[in-house]
Structure 1
Amino acid sequence: MPQTAISLMRTFVAVEIQDDSILDAIAKIQSEFKIKATAVNKKNMHFTLLFLGEITEEAATSVKNALSTISFKPIEVKFTHVGAFPNSRSPRVIWIGVDDVSASQLVELAVQVEKKLGPLGFKSDKPFKAHLTIFRVKNRIDDISKTIERFKDVDLGKHTITELKFKQSILTPSGPIYSDLQVVLAK
């Protein structure tokens, strides 16, 4: 009997930023960085609550069932500063952070997601830190401390998050293409 190949999909759970004025403000900050790095496209801005990796269709169905039991209130997110992982002298990721209240609400939601998906075998490899990735840095770049310092205290506005999304990511040479597998609305 011939074996059938199991198709896998790359997936994650996230909340997205869909407010055009905030996305435009983020794009303006991105333009201030004169670096060789991959800028995250405006339409792909999100907080990854839990990266699930490559999973089967069957696992995706289990994830949808677990996520459908999540209950959360809308979260007002206030964007307040720019940072880098692991640091601004040799960054791998440049991100925008949020105020403490927003951060703690996003952490609560991420913890709830992990609690629901933990029994299915999904766990985070590190504690969730509320950050919106704006650049991914593949090759070593110069110290960007001065640019980061200019944005250590910014007000990009507020955005209310009302949807939790289970997403698929297809990696392409021109960047990832995301699609929604499930949307869970705030209550």
Structure 2
Amino acid sequence: MIRTFIAVNLDPAIKERIGEACRDFDVKGVKTVEPELVHITLKFLGNVEEGRVDAIAGALKGGVTVKPFTATFRSIGGFPGPRNPRVIWIGAEGPFEELNRQVEDALAGIGFEREGRFNAHVTIGRVKFSTPEQKQQLPQLFEKYKDFYAGAQPVDRIHVMKSTLSPKGPKYEAIREILL
């Protein structure tokens, strides 16, 4: 079994700009994501048998018809809201909702359950526990970064990703590539 998800990977220059902004969010109780790991998750599959990877890639190749597009990455906020966020994110603009819908449809056809709502974003941090300082700092940081611009990049492929968890953090590896 391998832990898998479907993702849009980001260009190195965008990862670098995101990493610069992430430094400000390295506050007590927040675990920031290493810049080289940031991506857009289109669908998390969880643990799947390694032998199903080709079927997953095949379903995506046959079912995803979104044409290549340019994505823009801007603004930093928190889910579910700025006062008590659990996730810190950068917004992703482009036809990601349609891309997600097509990924969901393609994979539902081979037995994967559909997920709930989708909001295109790049996770840059997770709030592990809340502190009074953090409750004051995070809304101020969200305000500071509301006009943040990490850049734009072409999106002409998606990846089936393998996630390996370790005490040092996750390691991601693209195991299949699907061209748009």
2:17 to 15, 19, 25: 25
Q: Which amino acid aligns with 1:73?
A: K
Q: Structure 2 CA distance, aligned partners of 1:122 and 1:139? A: 32
1:140 aligns with 2:130: yes
Give the secondary-structure state (helix, strand or coil) at the position aligned to 2:70: strand
Q: Structure 2 CA distance, aligned partners of 1:177 and 1:19? A: 16
2:115 to 94, 103, 125: 125
Are 2:25 and 2:32, in contact at CA under 8 Å, matched by a contact in 1?
no
CA-CA distance at 1:34 after TM superposition: 4.1
Are 1:14 and 1:46, in contact at CA under 8 Å, matched by a contact in 2?
yes
- Residue identity (%): 34
TM-score normalised by length of structure 2: 0.89
Range 54-63 or range 162-171, more displaced: 54-63
Are 1:19 and 1:159, in contact at CA under 8 Å, matched by a contact in 2?
no
CA-CA distance at 1:61 after TM superposition: 2.8
Give the secondary-structure state (helix, strand or coil) at the position aligned to 1:168: strand
1:10 aligns with 2:11: no
Are 2:108 and 2:114, in contact at CA under 8 Å, matched by a contact in 1?
no
Are 1:75 and 1:160, in contact at CA under 8 Å, matched by a contact in 2?
yes
Q: How does 1:39-54 map to 2 (within 5 A)?
A: 39-54=32-47
2:154 to 157, 160, 166: 160
Please tell me the root mean square deviation across aligned C-alpha atoms, in Å.
1.5
Gaps of 5+ in 2: none
Aligned length: 174
Give the secondary-structure state (helix, strand or coil) at the position aligned to 1:156: strand
Q: Structure 2 CA distance, aligned partners of 1:72 and 1:98? A: 16
Gaps of 5+ in 1: 1-7
Q: Which amino acid aligns with 2:170?
A: P
Are 1:16 and 1:45, in contact at CA under 8 Å, matched by a contact in 2?
yes
Q: Give the 4+ runs in structure 1 shifted more than 4 A.
A: none
